[in-house]
Amino acid sequence: MSDEVSGSPRQPVRRWVVKLAWLGVPLLLVGESGHLFLSWAREQLAHHLFHIVFGLGAGVIFFSFVLRDIRRNGWPSFSWKLRPDRAETHPPT
């Protein structure tokens, strides 16, 4: 069975899983060890700042993927119109 999505020029699914694992596992290990240390230190401010920084880091990673996809494939397009043409809304009399 092929790892590729049928007829898609995109990367094989297995390659994406490996990339996500190489990115996600170290982030989770570093994040959880930092979280445990801050909980151990009982620093409430540092504990909350950790959650803010971790969330912002996730946002930066997400938006970097979005920007890379837009640069490679262009802006997304829709197959439907937001506003119908005037001729379609008022049939001829």
User: Where do the structural domains in the chain lie, given as residue ranges?
Assistant: 13-73
Confidence grade of residue 93 (pLDDT, cut at 50, 70, 90): low
Average pLDDT over residues 52-68: 91
Four-CA torsion 27, 32, 34, 38, nearest 10 degrees:
150
How many residues does the structure list for the chain?
Answer: 93
pLDDT at position 77 = 79
Contact 24, 36 (CB under 8 A): no
Query: For the whole prediction, is pTM greater than 0.75?
Result: no
DSSP 8-state secondary structure symbol assigned to residue 41: H
Provide the residue type at 85 as one letter: D
Contact 43, 36 (CB under 8 A): no
Tokens at 67, concatenated: 């920007």
Residues 6+ apart with CB under 8 A from 23: 61
Local structure of 4: helix, strand or coil: coil
